[in-house]
Structure 1
Amino acid sequence: MVSTVIAVVGVVGASSLTSPASAATSSSFTSALASKWRSYLAARPGSVSVALYDRNTGKTVYVTKSLRSAGWETASTVKLDILAALLAKTGQSGKLTAAQQKLAKPMISVSDNASASALWNQAGGQGGMNTFFRRLGMTASAAGPGGKWGLTRTTAYDQLKVLRAVSYPGSALSASARATATALLDTVVSSQRWGLTAGVPAGVAVQIKNGWLPYDGGWVVNSLAHVHGAGKDYVMAVYTRDSVTESTGITTISGLSRLAWSTVPAA
Structure 2
Amino acid sequence: MTGRAGGLAGVEPIAAVSGAASSGLAARFRSYLAGRPGHVSVAMYDAVAGTTAVYTDPAVAGYETASSVKLDILTALVRRAGASGRLTAREQALARRMISVSDNAAASALWADVGGAPAMNAFFARLGMHATTAGPGGRWGLTRTTGADQLAVLRAIAYPGTLSAAGRATVSGLLRTVIPAQRWGLTGGVPTGVMVELKNGWLPRTSGWVITSLAHVHGAGRDYIMAVYTKNGPSMQSGVTTVQGLSALAWKAARSSTAAG
TM-score by length of 1: 0.90
Indicate which of 183, 205, 211 corresponds to 2:195: 205
Task: Please state if 1:184 is matched with 2:174.
Answer: yes
Indicate which of 145, 151, 160 corresponds to 1:154: 145
**Paired residue for 1:256?**
246
C-alpha deviation, 1:83, in angstroms: 0.1
C-alpha deviation, 1:194, in angstroms: 0.3
Q: Is this contact kept in 1: 2:98–2:104, CA < 8 A?
A: yes
Task: Please state if 1:43 is matched with 2:35.
Answer: yes
Aligned counterparts of 1:132 and 1:67: Cα–Cα separation in 2: 27
Give the match's secondary structure for 2:33.
helix
Cα-to-partner distance string for 1:184-240 (whole Å, 9 max, x where unaligned): 000000000000001000110000000000113310000000000111100000000
C-alpha deviation, 1:53, in angstroms: 0.7
Q: CA RMSD in A?
A: 1.1
Task: Please state if 1:163 is matched with 2:170.
Answer: no
Indicate which of 97, 100, 125 corresponds to 1:134: 125
TM-score by length of 2: 0.92
Aligned counterparts of 2:38 and 2:222: Cα–Cα separation in 1: 30
Aligned counterparts of 1:31 and 1:115: Cα–Cα separation in 2: 40
Q: Percent identity?
A: 59
Q: Is this contact kept in 2: 1:29–1:264, CA < 8 A?
A: no
Give the match's secondary structure for 2:198.
strand
Aligned counterparts of 1:169 and 1:127: Cα–Cα separation in 2: 26
Structure 1 residues 14-163: aligned runs within 5 Å: 27-69=19-61, 71-163=62-154
Structure 1 runs of 4+ with >6 Å offset: none
Q: Which amino acid aligns with 1:95?
A: R
Aligned counterparts of 1:244 and 1:250: Cα–Cα separation in 2: 11
In structure 1, the gaps of 5 or more residues are 8-26
C-alpha deviation, 1:66, in angstroms: 4.0
Aligned counterparts of 1:180 and 1:94: Cα–Cα separation in 2: 7
Aligned counterparts of 1:67 and 1:196: Cα–Cα separation in 2: 24
**Paired residue for 2:4?**
none
Greater relative contact order: 1 or 2 (C-alpha under 8 angstroms, separation 6 or more)?
Answer: 2
Cα-to-partner distance string for 1:42-88 (whole Å, 9 max, x where unaligned): 1111000000011112211100124422x110000000000000001
